[in-house]
């Protein structure tokens, strides 16, 4: 859903389709499942929001679709996979997340399809979250910045997997594994979406979010000179904060299943 240019109450016409102000995300929930394709994806902004939620006493669980084994040019996948799993666990711990699971799909070549939907539905039924958080499934991040294939496949499959999790007659083999349907997901939130209209205030947790990013030490080193995204992420969080009315914020697109 997009906001039409010129449709704001202030009557200001904008060049792009993004809103001038963000609505705050709801915080009347207890358990969130954050599903991401790769170790480091959550730390590109989302971790600061996670830190806020865990400080409020909420439970957040991370499900990583791959182990990020194709993410470091100089390190072969069989070494990089376990290394990156360790970095992800350390990053999670910093923001108060102690359950991190890895589904073992192939990094870089995830295919959207029934096997992926089934495993995501399985994760939703296992953890029974109120909120599912994931990344942007659209082709771009807006303004011509191309999204990545795994991100598009996973984001799309999360939306479907949430529905599948609630339907007894879809993926009936999950019932055989003792996993009853779970239709309790109230909203799906997509980080990094060009259609974001909501945000969460991360002024108090921006720094801890950055610490969790830097738990991905080998990965960031592997990006080489100028690869550290700290400044870039600070700028994005600051811009989002202006739209929410605080110092730093993380924007999300909100979808109701």
Binding site for Zn ion (CB under 5 A): 37-38, 41
Question: In this complex, which beta carbon is closest to Zn ion, that of residue 38 or of residue 138?
Answer: 38
Strands 100-102 and 23-24, bridge-based pairing: unpaired
Q: How far is the CB of 56 from Zn ion (least distance, A)?
A: 27
Strands 249-255 and 187-191, bridge-based pairing: antiparallel
Q: How far is the CB of 7 from Zn ion (least distance, A)?
A: 33
Dist CA 114 CA 257 (whole Å)? 18
Q: How far is the CB of 191 from Zn ion (least distance, A)?
A: 11
Dist CA 211 CA 171 (whole Å)? 39
Dist CA 36 CA 135 (whole Å)? 7
Question: In this complex, which beta carbon is closest to Zn ion, that of residue 59 or of residue 67?
Answer: 67
Question: In this complex, which beta carbon is closest to Zn ion, that of residue 147 or of residue 202?
Answer: 147
Dist CA 178 CA 81 (whole Å)? 30
Angle at 84 between CA 114 and CA 98, to 5 degrees: 80
Q: How far is the CB of 148 from Zn ion (least distance, A)?
A: 6
Q: How far is the CB of 135 from Zn ion (least distance, A)?
A: 7
Q: How far is the CB of 193 from Zn ion (least distance, A)?
A: 14
Question: In this complex, which beta carbon is closest to Zn ion, that of residue 107 or of residue 119?
Answer: 107
Question: In this complex, which beta carbon is closest to Zn ion, that of residue 41 or of residue 187?
Answer: 41
Question: In this complex, which beta carbon is closest to Zn ion, that of residue 21 or of residue 109?
Answer: 109
- Per-residue DSSP letters for 153-164? HHHHHHHHHHHH
Residue nearest to Zn ion (CB): 38
Q: How far is the CB of 57 from Zn ion (least distance, A)?
A: 29
Question: In this complex, which beta carbon is closest to Zn ion, that of residue 32 or of residue 36?
Answer: 36
How many CB atoms are located within 10 Å of the residue 23 CB?
Answer: 12
Dist CA 131 CA 75 (whole Å)? 35
Beta strand ranges found along the chain (DSSP E):
23-24, 31-36, 59-64, 100-102, 131-135, 187-191, 198-201, 249-255
The SS3 assignment for 214 reads: coil
């Amino acid at each position: 859903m997009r906001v039409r240019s010129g449709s704001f109450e202030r009557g200001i016409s904008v060049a792009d389709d993004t809103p001038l102000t963000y609505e705050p995300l709801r915080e009347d929930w207890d358990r969130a499942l954050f599903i991401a394709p790769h170790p480091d994806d959550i730390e590109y902004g989302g971790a600061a929001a996670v830190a806020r939620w865990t400080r409020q006493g909420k439970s957040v669980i991370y499900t990583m679709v791959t182990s990020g084994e194709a993410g470091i040019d100089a390190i072969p996948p069989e070494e990089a996979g376990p290394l990156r799993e360790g970095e992800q666990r350390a990053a999670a711990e910093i923001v108060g997340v102690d359950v991190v699971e890895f589904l073992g799909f192939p990094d870089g070549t995830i295919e959207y399809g029934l096997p992926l939907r089934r495993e995501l539905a399985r994760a939703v039924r296992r953890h029974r979250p109120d909120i599912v958080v994931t990344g942007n499934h659209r082709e771009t991040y807006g303004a011509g910045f191309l999204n990545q294939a795994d991100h598009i496949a996973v984001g799309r499959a999360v939306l479907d997997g949430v529905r599948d999790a609630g339907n007894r007659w879809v993926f009936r083999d999950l019932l055989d594994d003792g996993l009853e349907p779970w239709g309790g997901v109230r909203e799906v939130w997509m980080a990094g979406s060009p259609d974001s209209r909501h945000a969460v205030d991360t002024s108090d947790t921006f720094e801890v979010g950055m610490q969790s990013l830097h738990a991905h030490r080998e990965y960031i080193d592997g990006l080489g000179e100028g690869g550290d995204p700290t400044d870039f992420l600070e700028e994005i969080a600051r811009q989002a904060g202006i739209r929410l009315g605080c110092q730093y914020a993380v924007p999300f697109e909100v979808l109701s299943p």
